[in-house]
Amino acid sequence: MQNLRKRVPTILTSDEVLDKAFRKVSKIDKQGPDKVELVKRKSMARIASATDVISSTFERYVKAFPSINDRGDFLAEMIEVTVGVDQLKKALSNLDWAASKVKELQRQYTSKVMASSSVQGADSARKAFYGRASSVVNKVAPDLGFLAYARNEFRKVPDIDEGLLTFVIAGFPNVGKSQFLSLVSSAEPEVAAYPFTTKGIGVGMHEAGYRRYQVIDTPGLLDRELEDRNRIEMQAVTALKHLANAILFILDPSETCGYPLDRQLRLLESIKGLFPDVPILVVENKVDLLDSGSDRMKMSAATGQGVPEVMAALRDSVRHLEKAEPLF
Ligand SMILES: Nc1nc2c(ncn2[C@@H]2O[C@H](COP(=O)(O)OP(=O)(O)OP(=O)(O)O)[C@@H](O)[C@H]2O)c(=O)[nH]1
Ligand SMILES: [Mg+2]
């Protein structure tokens, strides 16, 4: 799968791009048979070099972002819920425009330099180019800002291995999802006594014997309509939709999470409705605080009680998807 994290280089601001372009240019010198010819050659070389820095920087950015034509997969949907596909496309196409606009200005002002018959004429054509090129770069300043933000958001999306069987943990905020992940994998997610601690999806590896599974931690979900969910919650839904071979739905009957159990159960029903084909294991957490007496599985992510049994049940629920053992 395309990787959201690694490919995109640091995105410079418009000022930094201009700095880079014009710093290099001031070092360029040329020889010539006379003063006018020398200044003309120097001006053309400087215009060409500035153009090259600006356009190649922008072209590199455009290439570095993942291609977003094939919508509908996990990556495309993560882009949509983190920064917005349309906004990303717009920013990239504006950079494309800027790169070709600067090249067009290069052609235009190089002709002016060539046509000039004085040092002053060549110099002023070069300076006019600098001014026009700078304003093109400044025009895409908001797009560069947006791409820097997008890069930052993408870096928070973990690498997902699509070859591994995957469990996605879901539930209301503050019920103990991240605490559970930290117990069953090597991941160290942030755990805190307030809702919406987890802001994006996280991944841990769970090993049992020689088998490895992926466990995805998600931000807490509230029992509201899909279209009311915010971008953070939508990352959870996206992970459920594209990655889950089984869902672990965690309830907190102690209600120390801050939400009543009946609301948590309503969310469970809507998750069942959204993902009718995915096995859902429902478990009550925080049994160290309260044992509801129900016949659901129970565990405490604080003490570890019941956790191995929950993992075993999850592995069982995807057993039919496991590939046959290699014989040798
Ligand atoms: N007593 C007790 N506390 C727990 C248990 N599991 C988690 N907690 C506590 O509950 C709080 C929330 O735990 P998290 O793991 O951050 O909850 P979360 O579901 O990831 O929450 P969000 O990321 O905000 O959606 C923390 O203070 C945990 O220490 C448990 O089994 N027993
Ligand atoms: Mg969490």
Nearest CA to ligand 1 atom 27: 193
- Distance, in Å, from the CA atom of 245 to the CA atom of 77, rounded to the nearest integer, reads 18
Is 73 among the domain residues? yes
Best residue among 191, 229, 259 to mutate for probing ligand 1, ranked by most atoms within 8 Å of CB: 191
In this structure, the answer to whether residues 114 and 132 fall within a common structural domain is: yes
Of ligand 1's listed atoms, the one at least distance from the Cα of 194 is 24
Of ligand 1's listed atoms, the one at least distance from the Cα of 301 is 31
How many Cβ atoms are within 10 Å of 69's Cβ, its own excluded?
Answer: 7
Nearest CA to ligand 1 atom 21: 174
In this structure, the answer to whether residues 171 and 304 fall within a common structural domain is: yes
Nearest CA to ligand 1 atom 32: 286
- Distance, in Å, from the CA atom of 292 to the CA atom of 304, rounded to the nearest integer, reads 18
Helices (H) and strands (E) in the chain, counts: 10, 6
In this structure, the answer to whether residues 116 and 177 fall within a common structural domain is: no
Cβ–ligand 1 distance for 192 under 6 Å, the answer yes
Q: Element (H or E) spanning 85, and its range? A: helix 85-115
| Centroid of ligand 2 to alpha carbon of 179 (angstroms) | 7
Q: Element (H or E) spanning 74, and its range? A: helix 74-82
In this structure, the answer to whether residues 114 and 145 fall within a common structural domain is: yes
In this structure, the answer to whether residues 228 and 280 fall within a common structural domain is: yes
- Distance, in Å, from the CA atom of 208 to the CA atom of 211, rounded to the nearest integer, reads 5
Q: What is the pLDDT of residues 41-68, one digit of tens each?
A: 999 999 999 999 999 999 999 999 877 6
Is 7 among the domain residues? no
Residue 210 confidence class, pLDDT cut points 50, 70, 90 = confident
Q: In what order do the strands lie in the sheet with 297-298?
A: 202-208, 211-217, 165-171, 246-251, 280-284, 297-298
User: For the domain that residue 302 is a member of, what is the CATH number?
Assistant: 3.40.50.300
Least confident of 97-106, 186-195, 232-241, 318-327: 318-327
Containing domain of residue 182, as a range? 165-321
pLDDT score for 43:
95
Q: What is the pLDDT of residues 128-144, one digit of tens each?
A: 999 999 999 999 999 99
Bridge partners for 167 per DSSP: 215, 246
Is 280 among the domain residues? yes
In this structure, the answer to whether residues 178 and 256 fall within a common structural domain is: yes
In this structure, the answer to whether residues 193 and 312 fall within a common structural domain is: yes
User: For the domain that residue 126 is a member of, what is the CATH number?
Assistant: 1.20.120.1190
Contact call for residues 96 and 140 (beta carbons, < 8 A)? no
Cβ–ligand 1 distance for 173 under 6 Å, the answer yes
Q: Are strands 165-171 and 246-251 parallel, antiparallel or unpaired?
A: parallel
Q: Is the pLDDT of residue 153 over 50?
A: yes
In this structure, the answer to whether residues 59 and 102 fall within a common structural domain is: yes
In this structure, the answer to whether residues 181 and 207 fall within a common structural domain is: yes
Q: Give the residue from 102, 127, 155 where a domain finishes.
A: 155
Is 3 among the domain residues? no
In this structure, the answer to whether residues 195 and 121 fall within a common structural domain is: no
Q: Give the residue from 120, 155, 190 where a domain finishes.
A: 155
Cβ–ligand 1 distance for 134 under 6 Å, the answer no
CA-based end-to-end distance of the chain: 28
- Count of domains observed in the chain: 2
Bridge partners for 208 per DSSP: 211
- Distance, in Å, from the CA atom of 191 to the CA atom of 319, rounded to the nearest integer, reads 30
Phi, psi (rounded to 5 degrees) for 208: -140, 115
Least confident of 133-137, 224-228, 286-290: 224-228
Q: Report the sign of the C-alpha dihedral through residues 76, 77, 83, 84, in that order.
A: positive
Q: Which of 67-81, 163-177, 228-242 has the highest mean pLDDT?
A: 163-177
In this structure, the answer to whether residues 110 and 188 fall within a common structural domain is: no
Find how far residue 148's CA is from the centre of its chain.
Answer: 11
Q: What is the pLDDT of residues 87-120, one digit of tens each?
A: 999 999 999 999 999 999 999 999 999 999 999 9
Residue 1 confidence class, pLDDT cut points 50, 70, 90 = very low
Best residue among 168, 169, 174, 256 to mutate for probing ligand 1, ranked by most atoms within 8 Å of CB: 174
In this structure, the answer to whether residues 209 and 138 fall within a common structural domain is: no
Cβ–ligand 1 distance for 197 under 6 Å, the answer yes
Average pLDDT, the chain: 92
Is 260 among the domain residues? yes
Cβ–ligand 1 distance for 285 under 6 Å, the answer yes
Of all residues in the chain, the percent with pLDDT exceeding 90 is 76
Region 73-87: mean pLDDT is 87
Nearest CA to ligand 1 atom 10: 176
Of ligand 1's listed atoms, the one at least distance from the Cα of 195 is 24
Q: Give the residue from 96, 125, 155 where a domain finishes.
A: 155
Q: Is the pLDDT of residue 171 over 70?
A: yes
Is 2 among the domain residues? no
